[in-house]
Amino acid sequence: MSKWVVRGLRTGIRSTAYPDAPELAEGVSPGRPLPGAYPRDVVASLAARCPTGALIDRGDRLDVDVGRCVHCYRCARDDYPVGWSRDYEWATLADTRGGALRSAFGGSLHVLVVDAGDCGACLHEVEHLNNPYYNMHRLGFFLTPTPRHADVLVVVGPVSDQMRVPLLKTYEAMPQPKRVVAVGACALSGSVFGPSFVSGAGVGDVLPVDVEVPGQPPPPLAVLHGLLVAVGRASPAELTAAGTPAAVSATQPADGVPAGARRAGGSSSR
């Protein structure tokens, strides 16, 4: 067995520097379309190309509801491609809710993940938080096997009809205070699946959602950002009136170097 120890040591530390420094490796994020000002006809044609209504025609301006984006890249192709950011700090706080958990939870957060009809990708990206590259343990985030020990419920999928009751029971079994993090376009809007006769239009129809992480699937760094937002250790992506992450990232260069973690709350000791 000793050879495994040696192998592990020789591999060294692969974990990302995020949230202390931005992760710049290629391929860590599928990116997202950016809102922006375009000629009126271009705005109309871009909005028409979007199959899920994520691009909203506001006359001479294109708004983006990132929660509906399913990464089909149809707006990023052909003539007049939409602006595309490669950032990943996408999590927002649902403003009607209790906000982030207080700092007592900041350094040791127990997370339960429920698959409510996910296609597999979001769940995999959440699983990758245990991958050496992302290693959420270093941030004090732990998976818990039981809802009784969970502070945060991470839900993926649009909430299929037959998962609604198990999901509700899981939530009800969690102690207070608790937060719900909805991960992925399906969990936010139902995506291409819902609403239908067997799918909801996202977790919000069933549970009070506190943190929303858009993307299909959101990359692991976006999920990590979502957990950091849930405990007030990172600022949420800013909101516009339309409820979408604002054009803050639009000012970034095209290669999309993210703003890095902005610490908030009383967790600076970590």
**Is the CA virtual torsion 84, 17, 226, 221 positive or negative?**
positive
Pick the binder of other proteins from 85, 92, 189, 216 (CB under 8 A). Answer: 216
Kindly report the CA angle at 235 between 216 and 148, in degrees rounded to 5? Answer: 70
Q: Which stretch binds other proteins (CB under 8 A): 37-45, 113-121, 235-243, 245-253?
A: 113-121
Length of the chain: 270
The pair of structure tokens assigned to 249 is 């990232």
Give the shortest CB-82-to-other proteins separation in angstroms. Answer: 13
Give the shortest CB-98-to-other proteins separation in angstroms. Answer: 24
DSSP state of 236: P
C-alpha torsion 208→213→218→222, nearest 10? -130
Whole-number Å distance between alpha carbons of 129 and 122: 11
User: Which CB sits closer to other proteins, 25 or 241?
Assistant: 25
208 lines the binding site for other proteins (CB under 8 A): no
Whole-number Å distance between alpha carbons of 114 and 157: 9
**Rule CB under 8 A: which of 5-24 touch other proteins?**
5, 7-8, 11, 14
Q: Which stretch binds other proteins (CB under 8 A): 39-47, 59-67, 69-77, 262-270?
A: 69-77
252 lines the binding site for other proteins (CB under 8 A): no
Q: Find, among 191, 117, 97, 203, the residue nearest to 160 by Cα.
A: 117
Give the shortest CB-159-to-other proteins separation in angstroms. Answer: 10
Per the CB < 8 A criterion, the answer to whether 252 and 75 are in contact is: no
Q: Which stretch binds other proteins (CB under 8 A): 97-105, 131-139, 234-242, 248-256?
A: 131-139
Give the shortest CB-1-to-other proteins separation in angstroms. Answer: 7
DSSP alpha helix (H) spans, the chain: 2-11, 40-49, 121-127, 164-172, 185-189, 220-230
Pick the binder of other proteins from 80, 148, 162, 243 (CB under 8 A). Answer: 162
257 lines the binding site for other proteins (CB under 8 A): no
2 lines the binding site for other proteins (CB under 8 A): no
User: Which CB sits closer to other proteins, 132 or 266?
Assistant: 132
Per the CB < 8 A criterion, the answer to whether 90 and 218 are in contact is: yes
User: Which CB sits closer to other proteins, 55 or 100?
Assistant: 55
Helix (H) or strand (E) holding 155: strand 152-156
Give the shortest CB-177-to-other proteins separation in angstroms. Answer: 21
Query: Which spans of this chain sit near other proteins (rule: CB under 8 A)?
Result: 1, 3-5, 7-8, 11, 14, 25-31, 51-52, 70-74, 76-77, 113-121, 123-128, 130-133, 143, 145-146, 157-158, 160-163, 165-167, 169-170, 191-199, 216-217, 219
